[in-house]
Structure 1
């Protein structure tokens, strides 16, 4: 029964604990405590938080906004002084802490959402970054009081913590701690995965966010009673079936020996939840599991730390039980006395990493062993659950070797985020580009090395003025495209995935992988990418003149001459031909259309958007890739649509539609027109077959096109649009024919006749086609 007995129990716990407190302890080498917004130092138990004035040398911010609440009744915890003041950040601001010990550090951020003048802190939205780590992303809180605790591995001499307000918002902070922790608190080789029981690789480099820290069967343990200033909360609110659970206390039985105090205090190890008390040992009733359920985020791995201490048994080898994480039995037939060196009362912990979560609930259970002759009991003293912020879906994957890149430096004079890595990278890219394009403009460059680079989200925010809507230059299935400027003045196009987009992670990775392999004058260059939390962003070279589509139709269209149009088609064909004859395997673009052909300041065509691209077939085995139909309506290969067989000729069909757009100056699909005219391909080919193609030419160039050039161009488009893929030309043949059309145009403009008939020109063999191609590149 609850009541006086429970009160006596808790009082006895605290009395015993007060006698044992700090018999051992930890003195951190780095220990920064700041009460943000306060004009004087603040004492919290035996800890002193520096005032904003005293800590001003750590902070760089463009504007000092110090806030104070007058509504004291909202503050109820023992930390109340810390929540009465705050610092508000209207722009990007940084704390820089000198680090003397390169170990893990606690970073604790305190928040209290009160209202100060025009700042309602419950409406604030912001992100927090530090060296190679994303702590909070688009964070907001409506809670009166909250603490976000992170465990971060620090490897540099300065720890920079950056606060970035979201667009049209601000950031705030009531207090901050940066404190070093013992070397052995988080180890690498002792952590096992819950499904495979293999060592989890790379734990030392992971950023951990505390989800919950629970004292099983005991009272709340505040930070002043923990050697590492942690807070442990009671477990009642997480229990599934409290009726079968007993709480047990025997703090006198805890024996730390020479170490162990730092793992958890005696109040945690000396109290526990069990299935039964010792007097219940002979009962067969207690056969159900003890279960706790915790709220988590989907799509992450979690470090689960079980704290055990056998304060229950009277002798060795008498207590066996099972431990579960969700449906995984992680510790079967556990005997604490043998795990702790054939001794009772020795505290310790066991670490496990969960599989990637698919639910927003995490279940932890302990239950009786099925071994014969074993009493049906189980015990758990404490539990910690920590979210692993940046782990990949396969713990042993090589992808864990890549740590999130963040090139953040802070200048002496104030906050200046200097993207040295981006500047260096841009310089190298430009040098490479000059080398591969030097000489004849018609020469194709070879493939460049892998030059894709991770770029921190905060730098992208700066480049786009926090994604200012006035900088939007395009939109598509993936998301919005913004014009941005990097610190070195480099213009970039920034494509940001939108929530709920039909194109997601697979398309994002495909784009990065494809463009990291290629460099060609007629393919748009990838500058870098960002994948932090829910953000998927791609940065490309900025192509000044936008899409080919915008120049052909619509109110803002330009007056491209026929020769310019031919040269643009030739450039795009060169880019696609390069993909189809790649140095390793052919690549099928799968979304060729006029909006994916960009024009630079010199109207040089560049093929873009490789999110749907597929590595092409091994033509020595089979000529197609079986895959789901994807692409854009109006450009889709009908054979691919019917058979779900993607081939190189699928790109050829789509390019044939682009040729008709160039000729007719209209979109591939226009639902405002009569039914027979909606689809450009079918409508134009009807005119071509009747020999009247000249009647549907774009009026802007109708008087320029020479008959032979039109004939060759029309024939090329018709061949591209053949119903059967095998009858279509290769991209090499398309390129050859377009060059013929340009030469015919120029020859007739100059009143000359080519020395050699174009149709008689030799055609070198294309390794990826049964037909022949030109190598005029």
Structure 2
């Protein structure tokens, strides 16, 4: 069985989302669907309509003959909340022997067949036993072999699976799909929830041939007798296009950015109002929708950068198959030939030496596509398909650049008519993530209400489950590591963090052979003097020799124990390094150096450390109520009230503001998330886990620190990732995600949701732009949040998530706005007068003193020097005024 990588996890996740149902049989589709399209709701006793208003026919309809066989209708045992609709997923047809659906179709057209699978229990059958084959025609084409929808869905961490195939013509006007329980698995059965059959107005390859890469004089026949499986379909440089935006074929086109290799993302742009895209004569309008040709990705304006890099996409595919790569082009910027000429590489072979889009299309703004075929062999055991573009220096163009508008990748059947690949299994990283998520969601603490196994500080599995949209980015860096001897380090213990340099966290040696106070210690003398050193004997006594019953968390660094020091009078949390952990001496040293010098009410306190006998152990204050995350979701603990959530956010903001401004040089946390915000026995928020922290610029002329990328997926500043330039605003971005997490009560990333909802930051911003943010607020808060407070809170979070760091507020500005939001809520709760917008002082808000990190009362309202009432140009900060007046 094959192991699926993180990239394939995301790619297939996106692919399965792409294959949404399309309307047929005269149903309203939101697009120009062919009138003879078929949507079959298998196992249903009557026709039904899905959530998009598309009508699905019952498979008891005489029009769709099911051959005699041992089959039965069934209903799903339960409905997964991520299902896009009850239809067709809540009913199924279960087969105990080979059974064939027969669809009456036009023999003159080829057809798309989309198969929908929702692997749960049907009629008491175990979904793990559903292994089956699917063939088309009279068995001439094998679509799936020994297929397990359950194993596939588990590997992809999603509820349902969709597979799309492009089938040969049916000369007799009958399209046959046969489902057969796998002969390789005893007691297996087959099932299907929904079937779409959509006629195509043109062949996948209009010319019936594709140039064979590496053989300039040879072509591959992909005519009407070939069967294909759609692997990827991308709107390069553009946004997701749903099936209703397609040219009558119900296809979905996805954003290409998850598949881009390395940091060379290029630039994206769209046709402006002066450009009108027109299909040239002979160009099939069904090749791709107009929206694909009106957006593009190019390398960018810098010729020196472009000549030293490639614009590259990487895909994982099944080995030992021929693939057709269709590239869609439409020149939206150039007007003459030889202005932009580039080379196209497929799997490191030259597919096109001098690609000139205007030369191909004979005019600007005219779509054109090119097909290339490549065979992927199982030689290295790591099957990939690479597509790369590079400026053609030999052609001496006016601009050294390359461009692409769209891409499709199809698998061709082999000589035996087979398209089936192996079932995927979870990657090692995904399996480790699942294990960590079950083991603990945080590192240490104790439970409220007497429960003693609550997790509190540290590397939590919250980041381990954050695998959605950015997994493909991690994969790309992983590929770079293998080829360029780079490294992948971990955050949150996941080991998924992409690095562009050497490894910094994998050392298994300790800092010195003796305690830090020794002469060979790598710690500064100040840190050693401020931080208490524990002997290993004291640690063993405090943990009863590391008694497993005292384990209160397991994180990336290792296990966390509840303990007592000084005769048991002082409760502590003891974090012990795991020798096999990917976090090592660097994080250990950084944590001690940082926390030994930083003391603040809203920063977790490090009591001491132990470094004897090869051990690396940290001792912290005991935090009674664990992490913020476990009081928001994935826990049986009572939900926090809105005012309490606001106060916790304000406390965390004060801690981060102190980091950024409270010492000679700013300190950038680099891993702000809800599992690193801890709550003591008085519900005071404390920022924790400084293993990834970095000191900011020491020169006033510098605005950033250039460093390898570290952080947790779902919280990672995209600008920091792209440019590898770290600033305090990177923490601000992460904190913006935390604010929406607090408001919505859901994880920063949830791969089980529909693609547009996977990233909380993207989904919340989209809902806010649509005026629908209240729809995704945590249900326990509905009706309890003052509307003005909600608007102020959400606007602050939105500003934090600005794409460019210069547009984000400082942490001090965020703090002041959160305090203003709290005042709005308290005023409503008390039935008092509203604080004046533009004058936070009149509302007697607690304002942080930047020098001391303490709060006081502002009794008057000062005005800004320029008379304005906004900061960073946003209305969200209209009540903030020049801090010099405070």
| TM-score w.r.t. length of structure 2 | 0.39
| TM-score w.r.t. length of structure 1 | 0.44
Relative contact order higher in (CA < 8 Å, ≥ 6 apart): 2
